[in-house]
A and B are shown apart, each in its own frame.
Chain A
């Protein structure tokens, strides 16, 4: 088993402990009670220190501009994630989730995955979270329920999450896991083998067969050349993963039929009537909730 040196261990232990206490202080009360502002401030401070302690392990990518964007997107994503689980109003939680999604797609963009970034924004931020908001707003027409405002087992939950984070950090920084400078990641070194003529050796033959032309990473391009992200993605989806795409189609089909079968309106309900019938309830009480 690989062992970490004592400095790393101490640092990871500090991250876990600070993060645990910090998130616990930030999370809503177990029974939906009110916490003091000081608890939130201390929690935010401890969490921020925990985040700062992770910094020594980061190797930021690229030049100054890329670095700047990387850090801002990452911090925004982290902030959004923490606020999402600690928000006491579900609508705010959904909005912070949207922030997390948007910052993650910013990170995708930095990593060169343009289509993934756009797809994430369209599907998650543009459709799924909007549907969440829709449902939350409709469900909140009689004010917030107690389970909306309270956290379930905050102490144990934040400890579990932080322990997992600590374990992941220690696994990633363990000796042998960190790359030496100039050492390509396996995804590149294997790709490089696949690019060579598959004349020699079984390894070359296997990689060439597993990484077909369409499923390789796009080459780093010369200045001015247009990278064919979407076309390349389409090519690999409809050659290497054609059957997978078809099965996903079946999956969506079942989900669609299932949703219809489970919902089963007794008589066809028209959308206008359903809106009209739900509106008095939502209108009489405060739909905005209290924040």
Chain B
């Protein structure tokens, strides 16, 4: 029996409870702002409470499956959705900690409200199972981001950064919508699970050339999302915008658009294309191959010559988009049986890498923010020189984050790179395009190049001579939330590096859920039971190697 429409709807609303809590609190904060002239700490505290409430709501609903409704509902509560939403809530809390003192009292309510909207938009993208819903979720991230870019500081550089980001983001949305239109035209359904199902099992339904129309869709959707993740050739805005934006917003830009961009790629592209027609999947792999190689090489080589920290991190974030694109290329490869992924899957690597990337990049930006907050200059690498003498703990945190970014073994960043390269290495070779193993080799070489410029910063911190004498400097604190956020990032990077097992099995479940196709047409209590057992059967936790 087909699940009832209203039943599907009420179930979806229940599943989206965390986002609803967050968005309603954000709206309430924004509305209350003009009426209660209070300091920013009140609004920051309220925002933290809202994120906490949303976290509780997520824990409460995380058990309820949506497999019975997968082909009819706009949002899913599968493993990928729970994983992603959890990640965005945690990093949202970290971002809030970094941002708590970055805005003037007069604009604090709007600022924190917009931050909450960004987080809820990102969570909607993780849960989205429908083209339009996904697009709206992406926009719910973009539009408050323009606000966040402009609110904390009003000067010419911020204006320039905001304008650049605004126009390019709008342009990328147009490309994305153009691609979505073709994707919808392939089958006439906008539900992503149903789209994947019809592309794969329902092949006989689709009489027109899916490869031709589908490749238009893949190209444009990749282009639209490529802007968000700053992949070559859509990377060019990143250095200017990162440099011009307030540091905390740079941190946000380095993480949230990239995170949702790749989650959206898993949801819209890889899960749909990899089960579809082989020719389409081959073309998609080739496209991702080219983008990944170009992004890796450009990001890493240009980062070598940067001295400004924010520009360096901008190019490093482009390079990381390259590593993640390697995972996308692997995930595009044809999957014969959605229930049985290989030992390493591209989506799994992407999901793991994203979590690690979030921690290490937010941690690194947090250190810069902390230094700025205590009145020190932290614009170029030389400004950090000799930092270990004056601030040993902060230097340690920075070093951990940078090592993790470089992919040094016992840290989270290493495992992310490992899973992605492993998935590329083990992928089936495809006739007519350069093999993914070559891409993995390019990736490893680039990781080595990348290690150079990260280690250069670490060397400056530990072996450089301080510009000023430590005694003369007045040491003011930057606020405990920033310190806590930085500490959390560094410690989690270390812990996840030492014990990657739980995160890895979670990413495995997420990857399986993203591509999995639950048995259609089940509803009611017995249907739910069935899908529960399905879930268990699908997920085979694997020991960590």
Contact = CB atoms under 8 A, between A and B. Distances in A.
A41 interface: no
12 contacts: A171-B212, A172-B212, A186-B205, A202-B201, A203-B198, A203-B201, A208-B521, A209-B69, A210-B72, A239-B9, A247-B137, A248-B136
B209 A190 contact: no
Interface in A199-252: 202-203, 205-214, 217, 239-244, 247-248, 250-251
B124 A247 contact: yes
A210 B8 CA distance: 11
Interface of A is mostly: helix
A243 B205 contact: no
Interface in B12-27: 12-13, 16, 23, 27
A6 to B, nearest CB: 18
Given A189-B207, A247-B140, A210 B191 contact: yes
Interface stretch (A57-65, A135-143, A253-261, A279-287): A253-261
Contacts of A2: 209, 211-212, 279
A243 B197 CA distance: 23
Contacts of B294: none
Interface in A143-188: 168, 171-172, 174-179, 183-188
Contacts of A185: 185, 188, 208
Nearest to A256: B30
A219 to B, nearest CB: 15
Contacts of B186: 186
Contacts of B489: none
B208 A186 contact: yes
Interface stretch (B143-151, B400-408, B439-447, B453-461): B143-151
B501 interface: no
- Interface core residue of B71, B188, B198, B205 (most chain A CB under 10 Å): B188
B2 A209 contact: yes
Contacts of B348: none
Interface of A: 1-2, 168, 171-172, 174-179, 183-191, 193, 198, 202-203, 205-214, 217, 239-244, 247-248, 250-251, 253-255, 257-258, 261-262
Contact of B202 (A175, A203, A213, A243): A203
Given A205-B2, A209-B3, A257-B147, 11 more contacts: A177-B213, A186-B207, A206-B197, A206-B521, A207-B202, A209-B194, A212-B5, A243-B13, A247-B140, A254-B114, A258-B146
A214 B9 CA distance: 14
Contact of B207 (A174, A183, A240): A183
Contacts of B185: 185-187
B110 interface: yes
A47 B74 CA distance: 44
Contacts of B113: 254, 257
B30 A257 contact: yes
B114 A190 contact: no
B215 to A, nearest CB: 6
A174 B521 contact: no
B212 A206 contact: no
Nearest to B151: A261
A207 B198 contact: yes
Contacts of B136: 244, 247-248, 251
A179 B124 CA distance: 37
A2 B209 CA distance: 10
Given A206-B197, A244-B74, A183 B520 contact: no
